[in-house]
Amino acid sequence: MTAFETVLIAGGVVLFLVLLYEMEVPSQDGSFLNPLLVSVAGLIMLWPLRRHQTVRALLFSGGMLVLLWTMNQVAGILVMFVGVYLMAYLLNPAVTVLRDSYRVPRWLSSLIAAMIAVGVVVLFVLLLAPNIANQIEAFSDRVVGGVDSLRAWLASSTVLDSLEQAGVIEKQEAIGQAQQFIQEQARQLPEAAQRLARSLGSLLSFVTVLALVPVLFFYTLKDYPSIRDAIIGLFPTASGRRDYLVEAGSIVGRYLRGQLVISAIAAFNVSVFLYIFDIPFWLLIGLMAGVLNFIPNLGAIATMIIGGVIALIFGGWIKALILVAVLLGQGLLEQSLLTPNIMSYQVGLHPVLVLFSLLVFGSFLGIFGLLIAVPATAILTTAYRAYREELTLELSDYGTPDEAKGQGSKPLI
């Protein structure tokens, strides 16, 4: 390696460190440098030496970092496209059935599916969104209004007196901290709604997005097979084939479609029965039961705990017992009827692995990680099985060492 090549590699390492710094400490407004420009400079500097392993490692790692940085910068746009593609992915079987069984042109079946999906969303916004907002506001007001009652109950409780006598806590300080914590958490509910409203941007941009999504969804659903094939083409192959992607996609598709149906049924059933028995904040608890239904095992436990506490505080013991009975009935219905008939899939994951994936994904990505833990783990395990089987097949072509000596086969190494 010449001195000039050494200087270029050293410069590439310096630019890589600058790239890391720019990604960790964003530049001020008006600054010229940004990760994209630094990566372009590094690419120009190292491209003549791309055959060296060190340079290839720098280019690959730097490219991955820039790709992740770019995705983070355009996350708002990507979320819309990912959501549209996911909806097209879920509705593609229905469009395919209409085309194959009833000879409906794909563009017409896609238009019908898009209109139905948009109509469901509009119906949800018009009917449920105002009630959800009202219940969130009422819940926040009830929590804030109940702080004084909680303070009085804590002040009269003998438990805190016993703990103070034992030297474990300071009673007045504990009461003040509990009151402050509850007030802060209660204030975050309306503030979160306000932040969500502000994140939509101006009215013009909101209307633009609202008009763009149905059109984008229609074209994505109409041309879904070609878009899917193009995306699959981006993934690595196993001996020239991508069968593992087809298997993983089939597993995840059946899982998501079945889980969506069961979650919708759970949200409807729980909301209706809680409304009939006049449970406080029935709609919020019902929607929470539907959303958390996506989290195996942990979702039902979390719904029962959170819903039970809400019903106990704002409705009393009888309301809490009714809520627990409703959730237990819904769980029994899912296990005995809904899951065996709707979830016609085999994820192939051991329960211990499912719980492990929930904890790992949840620790890294929060509630979003819990929602995607099972399908993501199914994809990873399917890809690993494909890699392992392909490796076994390749090695089996050479036979055992004894067979290689007797038959004159190629050596293993």
Q: Within 10 A of 36 (CB to CB), how many other CB atoms are there?
A: 14
Q: Which residues of 192-222 are buried (b: 16+ CB within 10 A; e: fewer)?
A: eeeeeeeeeeeeeeeeeeeeebbebbbbbbb
User: What are the C-alpha distances in Å from 276 to residues 273, 283, 309, 326?
Assistant: 5, 11, 19, 11
> What are the domain boundaries of the chain?
3-73, 75-230, 235-413
Distance CA 60, CA 44 (A): 14
Q: What does the pLDDT read at residue 219?
A: 93
Q: Name the DSSP class of 47.
A: G
Report the pLDDT value the prediction gives residue 363, as an integer from 0 to 100: 86
What backbone torsions phi and psi does residue 201 show, to the nearest 5 degrees? 80, -160
Tell me the pLDDT of the chain (413 aa) as tens digits: 688 888 888 998 999 998 888 888 766 665 677 888 889 999 998 998 888 888 898 899 999 999 888 888 887 778 788 889 888 988 998 999 988 888 899 999 999 998 998 888 888 878 887 888 788 878 877 776 666 565 666 566 665 666 666 666 666 676 666 666 666 655 555 555 555 555 544 445 556 666 788 889 999 999 999 998 888 887 766 556 666 677 777 777 778 888 888 999 999 999 999 999 999 999 999 999 999 998 887 888 999 999 998 998 888 899 999 999 999 999 999 888 887 777 655 566 777 887 888 888 888 878 778 878 888 888 888 777 777 766 554 444 444 444 444 444 444 33
Q: How far apart are CA 107 and CA 379, in angstroms?
A: 30
Reported as type and span, the H/E element at residue 27 is none
The pLDDT assigned to 72 comes to 83
